[in-house]
Amino acid sequence: MGMEKQQGLVVSSWQEQDLSSICLRAKVLAFDLDTTLARSKTRMTEPVAFQFATMTRIMPVAIVSGGRFEQFQEQVLDVLPVETNRFNLHLMPTSGTRYYRWDGGNWSQVYAHDLSEQDRHAAAASLQRRAQELGFWEEKTWGPRIEDRGSQITFSALGQEAPVDKKEAWDPTNEKKNALTSAVAGDLPHLQVRSGGSTSVDISARGIDKAYAVQKLAGILDIAIDQMVFVGDRMDPDGNDYPAAQAGTMALRVSDPQDTLTLLQRMEPLLMSKS
């Protein structure tokens, strides 16, 4: 990719940053999905959906998440108000390994970087073996633990459909996900293995993560990477939002969707004053 990642970067909470300066430079807003725009696997609340739609009428807006496109549909697209400018919305599911745009009637796939059948099988096998060794192969689950998303293999410790409160309580310090990520990465050195959402670990092609996604989007929109704001909750070095910060975006750390809503309400007048 020819991209230098910033090492040792610390991303502070948005309250500790100069929002006026950030909004003055901003040309694109990009967001993580789970725990940023919505709680894990749940729909955006009406206030968040309304505020998110408002941002699409101000500038291009992107969502970059480990989830499948179907999750984007259910959690975001199905609850957006009619005032949303869908032509200004860029969707990058499975950590940016896929990209969708609105064509006036449907969401069309622009690209997909699918893993080979051999790599998908190896990833699933490693996830199961290492999770069992570490004691993370839970007896009680809701839905499949391992999901083949084509361009990404995702492990969900409690299953894809686990209740939100169970998922949020499973690994609040991220220690379990980080331990599993490290173990699986040792098995699959040619693939990208990252700690994902509240109970998940994501595996994709090496070099294709949220850093790749935001760099690709900057090229598509013909802007500099440091003119993009990236909002996410996992901005720690082991988190899956961190590569977007390392890539050079103006990274803003949030704690939950309500925190994101407050941030966007603060940003709206600052962004509007530019136009």
Q: Which residues are part of a known binding site? A: 32, 34, 149, 200, 202, 233, 249
Q: Which of 18, 32, 78, 119 is catalytic?
A: 32
Cβ neighbors of 249 (< 8 A, separation 6 or more) are: 30, 214, 225, 226, 228, 229, 230
32 has catalytic annotation: yes
In angstroms, the CA 228 to CA 251 distance is: 8
| Cα dihedral across residues 156, 159, 160, 161: positive or negative | negative
Q: What Å distances lie between residue 49 and 80, 101, 174, CA to CA? A: 6, 19, 28
What residues form the annotated binding site for Mg(2+)? 32, 34, 233, 249
In angstroms, the CA 35 to CA 260 distance is: 9
Q: Would you state the structure tokens that stand for residue 113, as one six-digit string?
A: 């970087």
What residues form the annotated binding site for alpha-D-mannose 1-phosphate? 149, 200, 202
How many residues comprise the chain? 275
Q: Following DSSP, what letter does each residue of 81-101 receive, concatenated?
A: -TT--GGGEEEE-GGGTEEEE
Q: Which of 18, 34, 114, 148 is catalytic?
A: 34
Q: Would you state the structure tokens that stand for residue 151, as one six-digit string?
A: 């361009």
165 has catalytic annotation: no
Among all residues, which ones are annotated catalytic? 32, 34
